[in-house]
Homo-oligomer: A and B are copies of this chain.
Amino acid sequence: MKRFAIVGHLAVTSGTFSLNDLAGSAGRMDVLCRCINSSFFLSHDLRRDVECYLILCGEPGPEKTVLFRGSEVRYLSPDERSSAALIKKALSIPCGDEFRESTPGVYIRRGGLARLLAEIPFAVLDEAGDDIRAASALPEACLLSDHHNFTAGEQDLIEGYSRYSVGPRSLHADHTITVLLNEMDRRES
């Protein structure tokens, strides 16, 4: 299983956002939607061996985590609006301490990065890390930040974690996922 987690520092935690304003009042939800796209989509196929966690840290709070499971997900199309509609639906159901399914393969629970890090051994994808092409083994679970850097508090949580870079330029989170998956595809083929 490959796992990605993306911290959405401003991504709203209420399902009242407009699908017509993902980059604005939804707190750059568009960034997270593109990470869903790059985590799952192949040409005319889905990556069934991927799980993607979206950590929503925006208003009104508290933090929530939305999980997309490639093995189960349905009704997902590549466009931003499609994954945003599934996130909006997840945010509209009662949110408890354990993952609850909102639509097939999409789940939501309370809690954010600290809780997820206690459950899954993540590595960090970060421009200052070791080049993935030179890595003897690739991490199975990768944490990324959205358009903002990790906060000081988040940096404390991930201190000492392995860090990997996908190349010489600093890329958007979704592009980083695409490049890493390409390296994984090559090693598996």
Spell out A's residues near B (CB within 8 Å). 19-20, 22-23, 30-31, 34, 37-38, 41-45, 77-82, 127, 147, 166-172, 175, 178-179, 182, 185-186, 188-189
Contacts and interface: CB of A to CB of B under 8 A. Distances in A.
Copies in the complex: 2
A168 B186 CA distance: 6
A34 B78 contact: yes
A141 to B, nearest CB: 20
B82 A171 contact: no
A18 to B, nearest CB: 10
Contacts of A175: 38, 41, 178, 182
Contacts of A189: 167-169
Nearest to A37: B34
Nearest to A186: B167
Contacts of A30: 78-81
